[in-house]
Amino acid sequence: MSNHFFKMKRLLLGESIATQDEHHERLSIPAGLAIFASDALSSSAYATEEILLIFIVASHMPVLWGNILAIPIAVSIFVLLAIVVLSYRELIRAYPG
């Protein structure tokens, strides 16, 4: 079983990088932030848009559940977005440079 796991891992991820070659593969801090930070920001933005689209569709449906759950879900999304914004502000304050 272990052998199959490592074969599948190698197939999906490729060969491991040798330790002596690892430093050539690292990203600089600005490049790493440009590549990886935008992923979290875009996920927050696009997820909110998709949730709002579902709310629009659900609000036009005659099903009672859409109207009952809309306000608690909207409040939950607002709280979640507030937590994300506050955590980003703390992160920026912690690392100002």
Q: What are the pLDDT digits (tens) for 22-37?
A: 888 888 888 877 777 7
Q: d(Cα 85, Cα 82) in Å, to the nearest integer?
A: 5
Residues 6-15, mean pLDDT to the nearest whole number: 87
Indicate the length of the chain as a whole number.
97
Distance of CA 88 to the CA centre of its chain: 13
When pLDDT is cut at 50, 70 and 90, the band that residue 67 belongs to is: low
Q: In Å, how far are 13, 21, 36, 40, 89 from 16, measured between CA atoms?
A: 8, 10, 21, 26, 36
Q: Tell me the domain boundaries of the chain.
A: 28-94
Q: d(Cα 34, Cα 29) in Å, to the nearest integer?
A: 9
Task: Look up the pTM and report it.
Answer: 0.39
Tokens 């050539």 correspond to 24
Assess contact for 78 and 89: CB atoms under 8 A.
no
Assess contact for 27 and 35: CB atoms under 8 A.
yes
